[in-house]
């Protein structure tokens, strides 16, 4: 497989770099601090391209996590999703998962400098994408690296009189090299933990999740949350390293994923909880009013 062109952003004030591959779904494949890799590489970019096996920081669009069935209602009609068609992929329970833009090659770079990259994707010009998400719009992804902070800004701009449901998210995998997973510390603010059924779909019930600060130890997470306040900070720390994930705006939900089989943890910004495209409870980008969402990763 030929190597795809990448863009390496350089922080003007530190040895921090971030690497993006626009033609592979605008995925961030690396966040490196003076050569120390801070993103979970998992199976690597090749597996993301061939089998949508996530790594680094991929965008999950237009829905994050999974849907409860192969379809959803919209404006009195219904959209049917067919696995393997239009980028639809399924989990072990044959439920659609992580949207349709895994490794999608159609992103167009609109701005690039030493520490900033902006690319956009016009859904309205892609019939295969509109078939699974019939809301014409342009999604713009901007990544800026400065002062040891990666700022990721996503803008959704409707291109017709139809509003656009916002149910997307990101799946950043973080790691702290040289420090055992058991010694990592996870901190979260007070949240609501969403209870799920056996397929991982929220049931509508929830429980209070008090502010959390504990050693990861042998804990396993695959938990969804809402009531994430603007500016909420999630922190992973270990040794002399600290990573803050800040939900600056537009991410009222989150998922924390820490498997037992890999030395990484995902702290996922989500524009809406799992299955919101079917269950409701999402906001929409309105015609003439682009929606802007921002999360940042601070490296200390």
Q: What is the mean pLDDT of residues 84-90?
A: 94
Instruction: Give the distance, in angstroms, between the CA of residue 252 and the centroid of all CA atoms in the same chain.
Output: 13
Q: What is the mean pLDDT of residues 104-110?
A: 96
Residue 3 has what pLDDT? 79
Q: How confident is the model at residue 76 (pLDDT cuts 50, 70, 90)?
A: confident
Among 7, 65, 100, CA closest to 269: 65
Q: What is the mean pLDDT of residues 97-120?
A: 97
Residue 298 has what pLDDT? 98
Residue 2 has what pLDDT? 62
pTM here? 0.97
Residue 183 has what pLDDT? 96
pLDDT tens, residue by residue, 41-73: 999 999 999 999 999 999 999 999 999 999 999
The Cα 101–Cα 19 span in angstroms is 18
pLDDT tens, residue by residue, 215-269: 999 999 999 999 999 999 999 999 999 999 999 999 999 999 999 889 999 999 9
Residue 186 has what pLDDT? 98
pLDDT, the chain, mean: 96
Cβ neighbours for 91, distance < 8 A, ≥ 6 positions apart: 66, 97, 200
């Amino acid at each position: 497989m030929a190597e795809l062109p990448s863009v390496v952003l350089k922080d003007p004030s530190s040895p921090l770099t971030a690497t993006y591959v626009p033609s592979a779904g605008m995925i961030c494949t690396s966040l490196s601090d003076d050569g120390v890799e801070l993103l979970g590489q998992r199976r690597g970019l090749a597996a993301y391209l061939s089998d949508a096996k996530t790594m680094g920081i991929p965008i999950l669009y237009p829905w994050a996590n999974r849907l409860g069935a192969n379809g959803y209602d919209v404006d009195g009609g219904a959209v049917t999703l067919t696995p393997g068609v239009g980028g639809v992929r399924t989990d072990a329970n044959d439920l659609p998962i992580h949207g349709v833009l895994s490794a999608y090659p159609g992103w167009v770079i609109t701005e690039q400098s030493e520490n900033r990259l902006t690319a956009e994707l016009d859904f309205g010009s892609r019939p295969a994408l509109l078939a699974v998400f019939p809301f014409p719009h342009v999604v713009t992804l901007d990544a800026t690296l400065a002062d040891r902070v990666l700022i990721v800004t996503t803008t959704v701009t409707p291109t017709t009189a139809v509003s656009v449901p916002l149910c997307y998210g990101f799946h950043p995998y973080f790691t702290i090299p040289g420090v055992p997973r058991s010694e990592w510390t996870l901190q979260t603010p007070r949240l609501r933990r969403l209870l799920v059924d056996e397929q991982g779909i929220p049931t509508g019930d929830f429980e209070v999740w008090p502010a959390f600060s504990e050693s990861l130890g042998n804990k396993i997470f695959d938990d969804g949350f809402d009531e994430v306040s603007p500016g909420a900070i999630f922190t992973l720390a270990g040794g002399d390293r600290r990573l803050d994930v800040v939900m600056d705006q537009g991410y009222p939900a989150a998922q924390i994923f820490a498997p037992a089989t890999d030395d990484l943890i995902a702290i996922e910004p989500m524009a809406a909880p799992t299955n919101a495209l079917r269950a409701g409870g999402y906001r929409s980008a309105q015609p003439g009013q682009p929606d802007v969402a921002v999360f940042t990763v601070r490296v200390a």
